[in-house]
Amino acid sequence: MAGRGRGRGRGRGSSFAADALGLGRGGEALPPPTAQPPPLFPPLEFSPAPLPKNEEDNYMYLLKQEFRGHMRDSPYCIKPHNKKKDIERYSDKYQVGSGDNGIGWHPDWKRFPKELRIVSRKARPPKSAGSVKPSLSTARVSKKINEEVIKKLDELEKKEDGTKSGEEEEEEEEGQEEEDAEEYYDEEEQEEGTDYISNYFDPGEDYIDEDDGGDDGPTY
Amino acid sequence: MSSLQLKLVSLLVQEHFGDVVEKICTHLLKNGSNNFRSVVSTVKEKPEQVKKALCVLIQHNIVKYGLNKRGMVEYTADVEKALLLVRYPRYIYSAKTLYGDIGELIVEEVLHHGEILMSNVVEKVKVRLKEAMEGNQLEPSAIKDKFIDLVNTHFLQRLPSWSAEDDEESKVIPLIPHLSVSDADLYRIPETAGVTGKRKRPLNDGGRSSKRARSSSVGSEPDQEVPLDDGIYWKVNFERFHRYFRDQDIISAITQRIDKSAGDVVATMLRMSELTTDFMARETKPLSFHDIARQMPKKLENRQLEQYMKLLLDDQTMIVKKYGDAGGGMYEIDLEQASRVICTANIESVVQERFGSKSFRIFKTLLKKKYLEQKQIENFALIPAKEAKELVYQMFAENFITVQEIPRTPDHAPSRTFYLFTVELGQVTFMLAERCYKSLINLMTRRHFESAENKRLIEKEQKVEAITASMQGSGAEPAQLEEIEKTMTQLEKEQLQKYKGRIAKLEQSELQTDKTVFVLNSFILQEAEGRL
């Protein structure tokens, strides 16, 4: 880089690099080539100007801390999963947000791609209690799903357990989800299927809605 | 997107949303658009976790989704959006200066949630205000009015929403929701959204109850009810805030250069063109002299205003230009020029602080004269040859100055070539922006290091505080409190104090650096726009 910066030496014809920088002539050598990386903390020639201290900056600093603190505590901040591994407690399952399915906030699922839907058993609206009401809904749903199962049995032979798992929030979603979700099943089962803990679910009150109940299917 | 930006984003995201989200965001940034399956398989996280993380990122507008050619859902992360995380305090603060405490809380809530319903914001702000100002009565509609103000001035923007008929009719849920909003609706509050009430799901009509009835229903289960403005989400319009920052920069530049009244004149002009001029426009719409005179907050005499206009026109910076003579003279503000001037000033001060005043002189000479030979630099900057060479070399080595070679013969022989030094503003700006990112990374890394170093102390302090608070709550004796107080030794207290001081300094530096980043980036943006 340095060698090219010749400012003026028109017509002088001597070694150009040193001359152009005005270093070479009077016995001053060029700085030796550097073989090692520059120091991690080079000396500061000019000390930096102090930070402006006014109310605005102070306030913004407080806002910054507060905002960060808030985000840390908010459900948007996802804690790493394996932290919970120290000891498994029975009560873990019933703690809001600590379970695998707890998302902690209430996303408006209509705004997210379908494949991302997580149905939290905690967030299940009490409304679903109504759907437990005996035969009416069960009959309607199970008929639809039975056909589905037969179709799937043909397709997947041994993978009967790949059908819908038991955590439907609203029955009206079931029908279409079934169809669309099919393409994801194969691989997802292999990924999730072995993990019993993460897919274990509490059958809950609307267990009866499902044809094949709490197996290891993916949860949508 | 540079690797530095990437690093900074990952630090920022980690700080705000935790490790899992950071991992996924970094993956998306490094590998471009990706579908869910490949994300899951590469990041080695449970699908559940990935889902959650993606939801968080989408919620905060950092990740976008779309269908690719094969009909798969793909996720794309946006560096620019993620980098804004460092600027959030500034948005909140400027909302405070513009709209007071309520405005501050509204913007803060919206930023907390990324996108949010108006009714939720109003609820949350109401709760927080109640905590803050116990007893003091607040107009119930004040929060709503402020929200509407913010929307009307485009500081908040509506997000696309699904259309109502899709929602009702089709039973099949598409892979991705089709969200849309018309331009006209972007800053319009739908009638229903103005009402903060909620309606019960089963009975769709009769939801618009009177205000009294509404406030009584607030306490009940949110799960059961759908807010009236369900589906109409709002987010912070960062562009509008950036524009506000830029305008403030211009005003303060003029104020520093001429005086307060001149700043007022420019502020008036900017305010008048706020809604008529596009954000990326190169200049504001021309404003007539009389209009400006009428809109001035503090009445200046026409003669005085005339003088100020003349002063502004004659100014070297050329931020204010004359457009025509109609209507007592038409004036406009050259936003591109303003951005360039401010950016140049920033770069100049960097040169001054880093290399000293002599180098600064050389740099300014080069800026003014564009292309100079070494000999000319010495002459114009009035610096002895030897010293000038060294200074030029220093700046050249640090990439502040570039060399343009002009060979006299086609063989590029050094002896027959002119070497012209010049400052390429765009390139220097870009380089400085990168350096700012680097220093932001360094600042944050240092902060994490400091926090890790003093972790034990911090935790102890928190514990002591918690115990004191709970004891105070249960009415403990002052002697007991003192005892607990004493568990922190003097040394520990001093250490903590020092630590806090350092953290404050680091954080404030972050905010300062971001201000510079903003100035540099808006110039880069302007340049890019100009080249199109």
With pLDDT > 90 as the criterion, what percentage of chain B qualifies?
33
B positions 113-132 inside 8 Å of A (CB): 114-115
Q: Is the pLDDT of residue A220 over 90?
A: no
Instruction: Say what the pLDDT of residue B227 is.
Output: 63
Chain B residues in contact with A7 (beta carbon < 8 A): 373-375, 377, 389, 392, 419, 421
Q: Which of the two residues, B464 and B278, has the higher pLDDT score?
A: B464
- Both tokens assigned to A40: 């991690």
Instruction: Say what the pLDDT of residue A214 is.
Output: 45
Please write the tens of the pLDDT for every residue from A52-84: 888 888 888 889 989 988 888 888 887 765 555
Q: Is the pLDDT of residue A4 over 70?
A: no
User: Is A38 in a helix, a strand, or coil?
Assistant: coil
Range of the domain at A205: 55-81+89-219
Chain B nearest-CA residue for A122: B223
Q: Which of the two residues, A174 and B79, has the higher pLDDT score?
A: B79
The Cα–Cα gap between A99 and A89 comes to: 11
Span of A134-138, B173-177, B387-391, B452-456 with lowest mean pLDDT: A134-138
- Asked if B37 reaches chain A (Cβ–Cβ under 8 Å), the answer is yes
Instruction: Say what the pLDDT of residue B192 is.
Output: 56
Spatial strand order of the sheet with B116-117 comes to: B116-117, B233-236, B156-158
Asked whether residue A182 is domain-assigned, the answer is yes
User: Which of B65, B112, B511 is closest, CB to CB, to A57?
Assistant: B511
Asked whether residue A14 is domain-assigned, the answer is no
User: Is A137 in a helix, a strand, or coil?
Assistant: helix
Span of A149-163, B106-120, B366-380, B480-494 with lowest mean pLDDT: A149-163
User: Is B432 in a helix, a strand, or coil?
Assistant: helix
The CATH fold of domain B239-333: Arc Repressor Mutant, subunit A (1.10.10)
Question: Minimal Cα–Cα distance from B120 to chain A, Å?
Answer: 12
Q: How many residues does chain B have?
A: 532
- Asked if B496 reaches chain A (Cβ–Cβ under 8 Å), the answer is no
Where is mean pLDDT largest: A119-123, B310-314, B436-440? B436-440
Asked whether residue A50 is domain-assigned, the answer is no
The Cα–Cα gap between A2 and A5 comes to: 6
Question: Are residues B16 and A71, on separate chains, in Cβ contact within 8 Å?
Answer: yes
Please write the tens of the pLDDT for every residue from B353-402: 889 899 999 999 999 998 999 999 999 999 999 999 999 999 999 999 99
- Asked if B233 reaches chain A (Cβ–Cβ under 8 Å), the answer is yes
The model's confidence at residue B427, banded by pLDDT at 50, 70 and 90, is: very high
The CATH fold of domain B3-77: Arc Repressor Mutant, subunit A (1.10.10)
Please write the tens of the pLDDT for every residue from B327-348: 778 898 998 899 999 999 999 9
Chain A nearest-CA residue for B226: A108
Question: Minimal Cα–Cα distance from A153 to chain B, Å?
Answer: 23
Question: Are residues A111 and B179, on separate chains, in Cβ contact within 8 Å?
Answer: yes
Instruction: Say what the pLDDT of residue A218 is.
Output: 55
The model's confidence at residue B409, banded by pLDDT at 50, 70 and 90, is: confident
B positions 431-470 inside 8 Å of A (CB): none
With pLDDT > 70 as the criterion, what percentage of chain B qualifies?
88
Q: How many domains does chain A have?
A: 1
Q: What is the pTM of this model?
A: 0.74
User: Which of B51, B385, B419 is closest, CB to CB, to A22?
Assistant: B385
Q: Is the pLDDT of residue A164 over 50?
A: no
- Asked if B15 reaches chain A (Cβ–Cβ under 8 Å), the answer is yes
Question: With 0-12 CB in 10 A as exposed, 13-18 as middle and 19+ as buried, what is B376?
Answer: middle
Question: With 0-12 CB in 10 A as exposed, 13-18 as middle and 19+ as buried, what is B71?
Answer: exposed
Chain A nearest-CA residue for B412: A4
The Cα–Cα gap between B64 and B446 comes to: 32
Output the CATH code of domain B345-423.
1.10.10.10
Q: Which of the two residues, B78 and B484, has the higher pLDDT score?
A: B78
Span of A55-69, B178-192, B290-304 with lowest mean pLDDT: B178-192
Furthest CA-CA distance within chain B:
93
Instruction: Say what the pLDDT of residue A208 is.
Output: 52
Instruction: Say what the pLDDT of residue B363 is.
Output: 94
Asked whether residue A163 is domain-assigned, the answer is yes
The CATH fold of domain B85-212+222-236: Arc Repressor Mutant, subunit A (1.10.10)
Asked whether residue A144 is domain-assigned, the answer is yes
The model's confidence at residue A45, banded by pLDDT at 50, 70 and 90, is: confident
Say if B85-212+222-236 and B239-333 have the same CATH topology: yes
Q: Is the pLDDT of residue B287 over 70?
A: yes
Instruction: Say what the pLDDT of residue B428 is.
Output: 94
Q: Which of the two residues, B326 and A173, has the higher pLDDT score?
A: B326
User: Which of B115, B223, B353 is closest, CB to CB, to A126?
Assistant: B223
Question: Are residues A176 and B171, on separate chains, in Cβ contact within 8 Å?
Answer: yes
For B79-215, where are the E strands, in sequence order? Answer: 116-117, 156-158, 161-162, 179-180, 198-200
Instruction: Say what the pLDDT of residue B163 is.
Output: 63
Asked whether residue A171 is domain-assigned, the answer is yes
Asked whether residue A42 is domain-assigned, the answer is no
Of B367, B327, B378, B341, the residue nearest B522 (C-alpha): B341
Q: What rounded mean pLDDT belongs to chain B?
A: 83
Question: Are residues A21 and B393, on separate chains, in Cβ contact within 8 Å?
Answer: yes
Please write the tens of the pLDDT for every residue from B7-57: 999 999 999 998 888 999 999 998 888 888 888 888 888 888 888 888 889
For testing contact with chain A, the best of B34, B104, B508 (most A CBs within 10 A): B508
Question: Are residues B510 and A64, on separate chains, in Cβ contact within 8 Å?
Answer: yes
Distances (CA, A) of B526 to B65, B295, B334, B340: 28, 28, 12, 9
Domain positions in chain B: 3-77, 85-212+222-236, 239-333, 345-423, 429-472+482-531
Instruction: Say what the pLDDT of residue A192 is.
Output: 47
Question: Minimal Cα–Cα distance from A182 to chain B, Å?
Answer: 13
The model's confidence at residue A29, banded by pLDDT at 50, 70 and 90, is: low
Q: What rounded mean pLDDT belongs to chain A?
A: 61
Helices (H), A74-114: none
Please write the tens of the pLDDT for every residue from A180-215: 444 444 444 444 445 555 555 555 555 555 444 445
Question: Minimal Cα–Cα distance from B415 to chain A, Å?
Answer: 5
Please write the tens of the pLDDT for every residue from B143-178: 888 888 888 888 998 888 776 555 444 556 667 777
Instruction: Say what the pLDDT of residue B129 is.
Output: 83
Question: Minimal Cα–Cα distance from A114 to chain B, Å?
Answer: 5
Q: Is the ipTM of this complex over 0.85?
A: no
- Both tokens assigned to B169: 């009719």
Please write the tens of the pLDDT for every residue from A119-132: 655 444 444 444 44
Q: Is the pLDDT of residue B252 over 90?
A: yes
Q: Is the pLDDT of residue B265 over 80?
A: yes
Beta bridge partners of B77: B63
Number of alpha helices (DSSP H) and beta strands (DSSP E) in chain B: 22, 16
